Structure 1
Amino acid sequence: MSGPGTAGAVETEPASARAGLGGRYARLWTASTLSAVGDGMSLTAAPLLAYTLTDDPRLVAGVTTALTLPYVLFGLPAGVLVDRVDLLRAMRGIDLFRGLLLLTLAVAVALDRGNLLVLYICFFLIGTCETFFRNASQVIVPSVVPRKLLVDANGRLLAAQTAGNEFVGPLLGSVLFAIAAAVPFGIDAASFLLSALLLSSLLGVRSAKPSTRRTGGPSTSERPADLPAAPGSGVDSAGPVSATRPGLLADMTTGARWLLRDRLLRGLALAAGGINLVLTAGLAVMVVHAHTVLGLGSIGYGLLLACQAVGAVFAARLAPRLVRRLGDEQALVCVAATMAAANVAVWLVPVGTGVGLALAAAACAGVTWDVVVVALRQTRIPRPLQGRVNSVYRLVAWGAMPVGAALGGLLSTAFGTPSVFAAGAVLMTMIAACLAEGARRRWISDPR
């Protein structure tokens, strides 16, 4: 599954030749785009399928819980393992496995054998694969484009992922689900298999290979010249290379210790966890809310999800200007306040248009958060520790997702879906207040 991305502009073509990115990048871009569109279809169709099997919000939210639980269980080792394997071969294998998995699910749904347990197992395995694949896909780009073109290459890749995963995919998925429930999963399976085929054509690209020593990690001779030094490998861009590296547990512990000592990033990780808890709780029960409160069908639900992509693309232009105008601290306060207001709107406005606008505003705020926080992480974390510290940060931030999905289902069952967004508004207001206090103390511009 392609992960959510922050994009500067949505492109429908790689245009790699124009940018000088080359044919290898074009194949990587195409593989990622195909996968992203298929992902968006499946991630829209899965809650719709669950809702046809049960009207219990807890069980419907279980799909999101199953998908995000691997972020908690495997986030740390995945962040370290990307430095220890042949990335392209691993990515191809993951896509082949996911393609066969989704094909099996499509057949089961077509034969009326798809039940909740099958759905949970399938999406838990998909989430497990995605936990590794998301880290690997970010690392592999420097192997296929020159270093000076990394910004352009990453921007095009993330733009395509956002367009496919959050806009084109949900629209197609909801329409095709209304025709036949198995079709979105079948097309997603085909997208993974095509992606694996395209990745196979890149196997000549040199990427980091696993070491045969027990300590793990690439040796000096195994690291390609155009691939930046792997975090934790003992490699500095201007210094000597170490032939060995610590064990897996030691790598994870090092990242955790560094993050715990940095008060600013530690606080931002906790705030991101709270935000993700609120967003995932709402997303987990949105299909129930769309049907029971807003009176929308499958296509209407897909349109609601597509509104988030519109907000994200709009934010790509707005966010940098807003951050420059307000500064980092005040921009983060605005993010939390906007998300609180969006939850109030979904809570109190039982109209599809109003909810769509609220979701677009929340997505816009989320991209603005990334603009500030990703830059802070890139500048504050030492380069050799980037992979390990970021994996710990993601564990805290993404680890709240399955908790939010489960809580959303429980609240919705007890008090109705509007209560989920009411609780989200309260929690986001508390986060905004904490960020406002941090802004008053200038915790970013003058950290102590």
Structure 2
Amino acid sequence: MNASTTDTSTSQRPRLGSDFPRLWWSAAVSSLGDGVTIAAAPLLASRLTDDPRLIGAASVAFTAPFILFGIPAGLLVDRLDIRAMMVRVDIARAVLLTVLTLGILGGWGGLPLLYVCMFLLGVGEVLCRNAAQVLVPFITPQAGLSTANARIMAAQEAGAGFVGPLVGALLFGVAMALPFGVDATTFLCSAVLVSRIRGTRPIEPRPDSAGVLSEMLAGAKWLYSHHLLRSLALVSCLINLAGSAMLAVLVVHSGKVLHLGPFGYGVLLACQAVGAVIASRLAPALTERLGREAALVATAALIATSETVLATMASAYAAGVALAIFACGTVTWNVVVVVLRQTLVPQHLLGRANSVYRLVAWGGLPVGAAAGGIVAAEVGTRAVFGIGAVVMAVVAMALLVGARRQWITRAAQSTEQVPQPTDTD
């Protein structure tokens, strides 16, 4: 739908489709449960052992599937009925958490069971996050993609990053098994909501000659051949590197520099969720007003500004504002690039191309966390933020050069004109 065929009310409040509220509520409820478990799992591990390495292993077990199973998950998303797969995965996660709950109540829920559950929950998260992104273009008109993605990201950030952890910590204080039982219930609710979605992506027949390996590589080959999305994946990696380094040392910075206790640190993290929710409302309008190229430049500049504030100002209030700005920048960035992937990638490759893109983008997370810790130990936390500010300033300049060349507009035009490749191309 082009601008000439839309009226003022539609351009201001784009229609998202009758199925979108069900997908949004599913994302909101399951993300709330994710946040509950993300907070409760380390607390449970700390009750079972005093070894920091074994406590941290619970988080490692949850995040490892994002790297290990990203590409296979994309293949499954492209091969299967998305709606049915999401329902089955949610039910499986509910059963898994029920087992963990019973194990804790029965006294046989030790660290091995916790690690296995967290790992399998991570696998389910990889599948459902990818599937939801692929499903959005099939249930939402193209004019509403920015708004739809922004609202889902806000629900995920608020649930997993703010409300969920607070609820999880409170529930764990009442009973150790309670948070995991609540999370099991959220996944059952999510399964019911997704099952009521009427629209889904049609399953296209696969050529008999296409093997699993060739299908998995098809998404990587396509993404590598697309200059714009390949470049944005690398930039996303740099953003995640800088952001992960910042968050890895934030707890140290809040204590030693800002002189905050654990509650103050929690409030700082909550500022990110506030920024994410604000961005979910502003990002579509900002993108429409500035254009996608300029919006990406602005987001990189916002992230650079937030890192600069953290590096130069020893104020808890300034740090809270900086973290909110950081979240505004990252959510706006994600809204723009997710819509680009949903519109530029051929539909039959969307799951696999998404997985490869995220694999590249998320590669910066562990590297940034490790580098941030090393730099902070040697020269202090301010240096970590300063380096991040420099990196993001360079990224902003590179994006400005791309914006002057209108690389997004040209890529969209070329995609409309060139025939789409097949899996065997």
Q: Is 1:127 aligned to residue 122 of structure 2?
A: yes
Aligned to 1:216: none
CA distance, structure 1, for counterparts of residue 148 and residue 397 of structure 2: 37
Give the total of aligned pairs: 396
Aligned to 1:166: 161
* TM-score (ref. length: structure 1): 0.71
Q: Render the CA deviation track for 1:256-309: whole Å, top value 9, x for unaligned.
A: 111111111111110011101221222234334334443333433332222112
Secondary structure of the 1:329 match is helix
Residue 287 of structure 2 aligns with an amino acid whose one-letter code is V
Aligned to 1:15: none
Aligned to 1:77: 72
Aligned to 1:39: 34
CA distance, structure 1, for counterparts of residue 128 and residue 80 of structure 2: 12
Following superposition of structure 1 onto structure 2, how do residues 199-214 of structure 1 map, counting pairs within 5 Å?
A: 199=191
Return 5+ residue gaps in structure 1 as ranges. 1-18, 207-225, 235-241
- Measure how far apart 1:135 and its partner are: 2.0
Secondary structure of the 2:201 match is coil
Q: Is 1:192 aligned to residue 184 of structure 2?
A: yes
The answer to which structure has the higher helix fraction is: 2
- Say what the alpha-carbon RMSD is for the aligned residues: 4.2
Following superposition of structure 1 onto structure 2, how do residues 334-413 of structure 1 map, counting pairs within 5 Å?
A: 334-413=298-377
Match of 1:318 among 270, 275, 282: 282
CA contact (8 A) 1:338 1:361 kept: yes
CA contact (8 A) 1:276 1:404 kept: yes
CA distance, structure 2, for counterparts of residue 142 and residue 418 of structure 1: 42
Q: Render the CA deviation track for 1:380-420: whole Å, top value 9, x for unaligned.
A: 32333322222221221122223223333333444444443
CA contact (8 A) 2:74 2:352 kept: yes
Match of 2:387 among 423, 427, 430: 423
Residue 401 of structure 1 aligns with an amino acid whose one-letter code is L
CA distance, structure 2, for counterparts of residue 411 and residue 51 of structure 1: 27
CA contact (8 A) 2:249 2:376 kept: yes
Q: Is 1:229 aligned to residue 224 of structure 2?
A: no
Following superposition of structure 1 onto structure 2, how do residues 259-274 of structure 1 map, counting pairs within 5 Å?
A: 259-274=223-238
CA distance, structure 2, for counterparts of residue 96 and residue 357 of structure 1: 39
Match of 2:267 among 297, 303, 324: 303
Residue 133 of structure 1 aligns with an amino acid whose one-letter code is C
Identity over the aligned pairs, expressed in percent?
Answer: 46
CA distance, structure 2, for counterparts of residue 435 and residue 416 of structure 1: 30
CA contact (8 A) 1:167 1:305 kept: yes
Residue 431 of structure 1 aligns with an amino acid whose one-letter code is V
Residue 163 of structure 1 aligns with an amino acid whose one-letter code is A
Higher mean C-alpha displacement, 187-196 vs 58-67: 58-67
Return 5+ residue gaps in structure 2 as ranges. 1-15, 415-425
Secondary structure of the 1:229 match is coil
CA distance, structure 2, for counterparts of residue 375 and residue 150 of structure 1: 10
Higher mean C-alpha displacement, 245-254 vs 43-52: 43-52
* TM-score (ref. length: structure 2): 0.74
Residue 275 of structure 2 aligns with an amino acid whose one-letter code is G
Secondary structure of the 1:295 match is coil
Aligned to 2:242: 278
- Measure how far apart 1:365 and its partner are: 0.9
